[in-house]
Amino acid sequence: MHDSTTDVLRALLVERSVATLATLHEGRPAASMIPFAVHVSDGAPVLVTHVSSLAAHTRDMIASPEVCLLVTAAESPGQMPQSLARVSLPAVATFVPPDHPDHAPLKATYLAKFPDAADLFMLGDFSIVALTPTSARLVAGFARAHTLPPTALADALAQAHPRRPLP
Protein backbone atom coordinates (compact mmCIF):
# COMPACT_ATOMS: atom_id res chain seq x y z
CA MET A 1 0.00 0.00 0.00
CA HIS A 2 1.42 3.40 -0.98
CA ASP A 3 2.04 6.11 1.59
CA SER A 4 -0.76 8.24 0.11
CA THR A 5 -3.20 5.34 0.50
CA THR A 6 -2.04 4.79 4.08
CA ASP A 7 -2.58 8.50 4.72
CA VAL A 8 -6.17 8.23 3.42
CA LEU A 9 -6.85 5.29 5.73
CA ARG A 10 -5.34 7.08 8.71
CA ALA A 11 -7.29 10.27 7.98
CA LEU A 12 -10.57 8.38 7.80
CA LEU A 13 -10.07 6.50 11.05
CA VAL A 14 -8.34 9.21 13.07
CA GLU A 15 -9.99 12.41 11.86
CA ARG A 16 -13.56 11.25 11.30
CA SER A 17 -15.70 10.82 14.42
CA VAL A 18 -18.76 8.87 13.27
CA ALA A 19 -19.31 5.61 11.44
CA THR A 20 -22.28 3.83 10.00
CA LEU A 21 -22.77 0.62 11.97
CA ALA A 22 -24.42 -2.29 10.18
CA THR A 23 -25.98 -4.98 12.36
CA LEU A 24 -28.57 -7.72 12.08
CA HIS A 25 -31.83 -6.65 13.67
CA GLU A 26 -34.17 -9.58 14.16
CA GLY A 27 -32.54 -11.27 11.17
CA ARG A 28 -32.74 -8.24 8.88
CA PRO A 29 -30.00 -5.75 7.98
CA ALA A 30 -30.02 -2.49 9.93
CA ALA A 31 -27.77 0.56 9.91
CA SER A 32 -27.21 3.26 12.50
CA MET A 33 -24.64 5.91 13.36
CA ILE A 34 -22.12 5.62 16.17
CA PRO A 35 -19.29 7.83 17.41
CA PHE A 36 -15.93 6.04 17.54
CA ALA A 37 -12.32 6.47 18.55
CA VAL A 38 -9.33 4.33 17.59
CA HIS A 39 -7.36 2.56 20.32
CA VAL A 40 -4.11 0.82 19.41
CA SER A 41 -2.66 -1.66 21.88
CA ASP A 42 0.07 -4.18 21.20
CA GLY A 43 -0.29 -3.32 17.51
CA ALA A 44 -3.94 -4.42 17.38
CA PRO A 45 -6.37 -1.57 16.64
CA VAL A 46 -9.90 -1.53 17.96
CA LEU A 47 -12.59 1.04 17.39
CA VAL A 48 -14.13 2.10 20.67
CA THR A 49 -17.71 3.25 21.03
CA HIS A 50 -20.03 3.96 23.94
CA VAL A 51 -23.60 2.76 23.45
CA SER A 52 -26.89 2.78 25.33
CA SER A 53 -28.82 -0.41 26.04
CA LEU A 54 -31.88 1.51 24.85
CA ALA A 55 -30.51 1.54 21.28
CA ALA A 56 -31.55 -1.23 18.91
CA HIS A 57 -27.98 -1.53 17.59
CA THR A 58 -26.76 -2.34 21.12
CA ARG A 59 -29.19 -5.22 21.43
CA ASP A 60 -28.25 -6.29 17.91
CA MET A 61 -24.54 -6.45 18.83
CA ILE A 62 -25.34 -8.49 21.93
CA ALA A 63 -27.38 -10.96 19.86
CA SER A 64 -24.87 -11.11 16.99
CA PRO A 65 -21.46 -9.52 17.55
CA GLU A 66 -20.46 -9.68 13.88
CA VAL A 67 -20.92 -6.13 12.56
CA CYS A 68 -19.60 -3.88 9.82
CA LEU A 69 -18.62 -0.22 10.04
CA LEU A 70 -18.41 2.29 7.22
CA VAL A 71 -16.42 5.50 7.60
CA THR A 72 -16.56 8.02 4.76
CA ALA A 73 -14.77 11.23 3.92
CA ALA A 74 -16.80 14.42 3.96
CA GLU A 75 -18.53 15.36 0.73
CA SER A 76 -17.28 18.35 -1.24
CA PRO A 77 -19.44 20.37 -3.64
CA GLY A 78 -19.01 19.11 -7.19
CA GLN A 79 -17.21 15.92 -6.14
CA MET A 80 -18.37 12.64 -7.65
CA PRO A 81 -19.84 10.51 -4.84
CA GLN A 82 -17.99 7.48 -6.24
CA SER A 83 -14.68 9.23 -5.59
CA LEU A 84 -15.28 9.73 -1.86
CA ALA A 85 -12.67 7.98 0.25
CA ARG A 86 -14.21 5.34 2.50
CA VAL A 87 -13.33 2.28 4.50
CA SER A 88 -15.57 -0.65 5.35
CA LEU A 89 -14.54 -2.64 8.41
CA PRO A 90 -16.07 -6.02 9.20
CA ALA A 91 -15.56 -6.38 12.95
CA VAL A 92 -16.46 -8.29 16.08
CA ALA A 93 -18.13 -6.34 18.90
CA THR A 94 -17.03 -7.07 22.46
CA PHE A 95 -18.76 -5.40 25.41
CA VAL A 96 -16.19 -4.37 28.02
CA PRO A 97 -17.64 -4.19 31.56
CA PRO A 98 -16.43 -1.47 33.97
CA ASP A 99 -14.53 -4.00 36.12
CA HIS A 100 -12.53 -5.35 33.16
CA PRO A 101 -8.87 -4.20 33.02
CA ASP A 102 -9.34 -2.94 29.43
CA HIS A 103 -12.22 -0.64 30.39
CA ALA A 104 -10.17 2.28 31.79
CA PRO A 105 -7.78 2.64 28.81
CA LEU A 106 -10.61 2.25 26.29
CA LYS A 107 -12.69 4.82 28.16
CA ALA A 108 -9.70 7.20 28.21
CA THR A 109 -9.27 6.82 24.45
CA TYR A 110 -12.96 7.51 23.86
CA LEU A 111 -13.05 10.53 26.17
CA ALA A 112 -9.89 11.98 24.60
CA LYS A 113 -11.85 12.23 21.35
CA PHE A 114 -15.26 13.00 22.90
CA PRO A 115 -14.70 14.90 26.17
CA ASP A 116 -18.31 16.12 26.17
CA ALA A 117 -19.44 12.49 26.55
CA ALA A 118 -18.05 12.22 30.11
CA ASP A 119 -21.48 12.62 31.71
CA LEU A 120 -22.80 9.65 29.74
CA PHE A 121 -20.45 7.41 31.72
CA MET A 122 -22.54 8.23 34.80
CA LEU A 123 -25.59 6.60 33.21
CA GLY A 124 -25.95 2.92 34.00
CA ASP A 125 -27.36 1.90 30.63
CA PHE A 126 -24.24 2.83 28.61
CA SER A 127 -21.45 0.38 27.78
CA ILE A 128 -18.02 0.53 26.21
CA VAL A 129 -17.80 -1.67 23.12
CA ALA A 130 -14.52 -2.65 21.47
CA LEU A 131 -14.97 -3.28 17.75
CA THR A 132 -12.11 -5.46 16.49
CA PRO A 133 -11.71 -5.30 12.71
CA THR A 134 -11.23 -8.62 10.92
CA SER A 135 -10.26 -6.90 7.64
CA ALA A 136 -10.71 -3.59 5.85
CA ARG A 137 -11.92 -2.60 2.40
CA LEU A 138 -10.46 0.81 1.61
CA VAL A 139 -11.54 2.90 -1.35
CA ALA A 140 -8.99 5.71 -1.42
CA GLY A 141 -10.69 7.37 -4.40
CA PHE A 142 -12.15 6.47 -7.76
CA ALA A 143 -10.68 3.11 -8.93
CA ARG A 144 -8.33 2.95 -5.91
CA ALA A 145 -9.70 0.03 -3.89
CA HIS A 146 -7.68 -2.17 -1.54
CA THR A 147 -8.58 -5.12 0.68
CA LEU A 148 -6.43 -5.07 3.80
CA PRO A 149 -5.76 -7.76 6.38
CA PRO A 150 -5.83 -6.73 10.05
CA THR A 151 -2.01 -6.51 10.08
CA ALA A 152 -1.95 -3.81 7.37
CA LEU A 153 -4.64 -1.89 9.22
CA ALA A 154 -2.63 -2.19 12.45
CA ASP A 155 0.56 -1.00 10.74
CA ALA A 156 -1.16 2.05 9.23
CA LEU A 157 -2.78 3.07 12.50
CA ALA A 158 0.25 2.36 14.68
CA GLN A 159 2.12 5.08 12.76
CA ALA A 160 -0.58 7.60 13.66
CA HIS A 161 -1.24 6.62 17.26
CA PRO A 162 1.11 5.99 20.15
CA ARG A 163 0.69 2.51 21.50
CA ARG A 164 -1.41 2.47 24.63
CA PRO A 165 -0.82 -0.76 26.50
CA LEU A 166 -3.76 -2.48 28.09
CA PRO A 167 -3.03 -3.65 31.64
pLDDT value of residue 140: 87
Residue 144 and residue 83: Cα distance in Å, rounded? 9
Mean pLDDT of 27-46: 91
The pLDDT value given to residue 5: 80
Per residue in 112-139, pLDDT (tens digit) is 999 999 999 998 889 999 999 999 999 9
pLDDT tens digits, one per residue of 37-94: 999 887 678 999 999 999 999 999 999 999 999 999 998 898 888 889 999 999 999 9
What's the CATH architecture for 3-158? Answer: Roll (2.30)
Q: What is the pLDDT of residue 144?
A: 84
- Total length of the chain: 167
What span, in angstroms and rounded, lies between the C-alpha atoms of 1 and 31? 29
Concatenated DSSP letters of 23-73? EEETTEEEEEEEE-EEEEETTEEEEEEEEETTSHHHHHHHH--EEEEEEEP
What are the beta bridge partners of residue 49? 129
Q: 95 in helix, strand or coil? A: strand
